[in-house]
Amino acid sequence: MDIREVEVENPEQMSVIIGQTHFIKTAEDLYEALMNSVPGIQFGLAFCEASGPCLVRAEGTDADLKALAAKNALAIGAGHSFVVFVRNAYPINLIQSIREVPEVVTLFAATANPLTVVIAETPRGRGILGVVDGERPTGIESEADVAERRTLLRKLGYKL
């Protein structure tokens, strides 16, 4: 088995969600879940088939995001994995809807940080082992950092 790294191409530092699922209807079901989550959402999603023709299946509301998701899904190349790129929404508003899609097995990442997907490659195919999300910590937050974090969460409307 070979262990490989695949850097997620995300030139605009948009939110990206990566997960694993188990059935061909995932592309359409994820489309519906995302559409029903946030009004005006723009997204592209791609799903890697793990049997049959083993194609990357893509859906979305934005052609560029759909193409970006398909390109990244093909580069990752892990059966039953999916990639979603999002504009006009935050992953926190989408994750529950994605988890409720019956065929979704797990989520590996939901981030706008630089992202590396760690994959295992065998003669049969590829599987996602995990992800490297962003950078290493530089220290422990100070009282000023705590105040800044709390202010940001309230400014964004996630805390009262």
Residue 24 has what pLDDT?
85
Q: Is pLDDT of 46 > 90?
A: yes
Domain presence at residue 93? yes
User: Residue 96 has which token pair?
Assistant: 């529950």
The upper half-sphere exposure of residue 86, i.e. CA atoms within 13 Å in the direction of its Cβ, equals 28
pLDDT in tens, 2-37: 999 999 999 999 999 999 998 888 999 999 999 999
Domain presence at residue 160? no
Domain presence at residue 53? yes
Q: Report the chain's mean pLDDT, rounded to a whole number.
A: 95
CATH code of the domain containing 91: 3.40.1520.10
**DSSP letter string, 95-130:** HHHHHTSTT--EEEEEESS-EEEEEEE-SS-EEEEE
Domain presence at residue 117? yes
Q: Is pLDDT of 159 > 90?
A: no
| CA dist 62 → 40, 48, 75, 95 (Å) | 11, 19, 20, 20
Q: Note down the domain range covering 52.
A: 2-155
Nearest to 78 by CA among 95, 56, 60, 45: 56
Domain presence at residue 45? yes
- Structurally, the chain folds into a number of domains equal to 1
Cβ atoms 76, 125 nearer than 8 A: no
